[in-house]
Structure 1
Amino acid sequence: MIDFLRGQIALLETEYVVLDVHGIGYRVFCPNPYVYGTKKDEIVTIYIHHHVREDAILLFGFSTREEQKLFRKLIEVSGIGPRVALGILSGGSPDHVVAAIHQENISFLIKLPGIGKKTAQRMILDLKDKLDGMGAPSLFDEAPVLSDAQEGNSGWPEAREGLKALGYTDTELDRVWLRLKDSVGPDEAVDSVMKKALKLLYAG
């Protein structure tokens, strides 16, 4: 089984990258391929989950061991396949996902791509006692992972209204905020927040 690959980014797409490893191009599906957008001429390491099924051999890749480990835990949950697990990691950092499971924060989990209430409950039931040592323990004692205060202290609420006027749905905007919030400063201008959000929305 392949555990990691090291090479140069040869191609960047919305769902995957092609990694050139000594002249062989490996297609690797990633939670957010654009994290490699500034590293096209660099040697990068991508941690791999090598998934084999009857009709395909697929590579799923992660920028950290923590993401790789959480992905493998997620696909052990009934009803969560590799694509859904990848969507979960595209919508929330490992620290936040783990914290939400420990906190039994269903409202956070159902905002992740592909997760409904029953699946969120199953994630909590199956994984709460299996994630020891993962994530940041300090998160468990804080307010809910995606707090109203965190949204209100940035330009996001106003930017969100502007994006809704452009036709984006609440579901799309919730998912984008999960990916965006760590890069938005408390005093950041609304137009800057909108530009960042639109870049993620266009990327898919």
Structure 2
Amino acid sequence: MIAWLRGELRLRDEDGRVIVDVGGVGYLVTVPIGVLGQSVLGDTVELHVHTNVREDAIALYGFETEDQLQAFNALIQVSKVGPKLAVNVLSGIDPAGLADAVEREDLARLATISGVGKRLAERLSLELRGKLKITGHALRATPGVRSAEPQRFRDLRSALMNLQYRPKEIDGAIAQLREEDPDAEFDALLRRALGLLRK
């Protein structure tokens, strides 16, 4: 059972998957939008991993923080929520936001997540209540390993993905914005990103 990976980021595709090279072995890992968003190919990265074993396949799902992994594990216990949908949920909301929406029964917020309609929002609110223990703990700092992308940039990445921009285009725009104006608010970032991507 694989629970953690540390290695070189070798590939990132448009389906939310990355390949991490650990000692010459490439592990294909599905990650939520924004995970490893700060990293570029060749960087050393670390991931908490959930190994999903089925009769016909073994799939790996990766996360930068314990909270993301814990939220994923809670999500896949919800009826009719599988690993792919759980990753999709965490692409649209961070664990703290998910816990807050669940505890406040904010169905409107939950229903804004891509792939989550009214019925699933109700199910998430009911079945996750009291089960999301957010600690704020990330992977330990390691030389050469970049930290998690700030939430406003994760939100920006999600918005641009929903507008059908390619991951490589989004990576370039976000890298430029992080360098030019790292403290900008989301609305300003979105306007600037759209301007860059339309050139």
Q: Which structure 2 residues correspond to residues 28-47 of structure 1 after superposition, within 5 A?
A: 28-32=29-33, 35-36=36-37, 38-47=39-48
Do the aligned partners of 1:6 and 1:44 also contact (CA within 8 Å) in 2?
Answer: yes
Q: How many residues align?
A: 159
Q: Is the partner of 1:28 in helix, strand or coil?
A: strand
- CA RMSD across the alignment: 3.1
State the distance in 2 between where 1:56 and 1:111 align. 31
Match of 1:142 in 2: none
TM-score of the pair, normalised by structure 1: 0.68
Deviation of the 1:98 alpha carbon? 1.0
State the distance in 2 between where 1:77 and 1:119 align. 9
Match of 1:23 in 2: 24
Q: Deviations over 1:11-48 (max 9, x none)?
A: 11122000000000000000026634534333211110
Do the aligned partners of 1:95 and 1:135 also contact (CA within 8 Å) in 2?
Answer: no
Give % identity: 34
State the distance in 2 between where 1:18 and 1:101 align. 33
Match of 1:188 in 2: 188
Which amino acid counterpart does residue 52 of structure 2 have in structure 1?
H
Distance 1:42 1:124, change over 3 A: same
Match of 2:108 in 1: 107
1:97 maps onto 2:98 in alignment: yes
Do the aligned partners of 1:47 and 1:64 also contact (CA within 8 Å) in 2?
Answer: yes
Do the aligned partners of 2:34 and 2:91 also contact (CA within 8 Å) in 1?
Answer: no
Distance 1:135 1:99, change over 3 A: farther
Match of 2:9 in 1: 9
Which structure has the greater CA radius of gyration?
Answer: 1
State the distance in 2 between where 1:190 and 1:85 align. 25
Q: Is the partner of 1:129 in helix, strand or coil?
A: coil
Runs of 5+ consecutive residues of structure 1 not aligned to the other structure: 137-155, 174-179, 200-204
Match of 1:117 in 2: 118
Deviation of the 1:113 alpha carbon? 1.9
Match of 1:65 in 2: 66
Match of 1:54 in 2: 55
Do the aligned partners of 1:96 and 1:135 also contact (CA within 8 Å) in 2?
Answer: no
State the distance in 2 between where 1:126 and 1:187 align. 33
* Greater fraction helix: 1
Runs of 5+ consecutive residues of structure 2 not aligned to the other structure: 137-155, 164-173, 175-181
TM-score of the pair, normalised by structure 2: 0.69
Do the aligned partners of 1:16 and 1:33 also contact (CA within 8 Å) in 2?
Answer: no
State the distance in 1 between where 2:34 and 2:23 align. 21
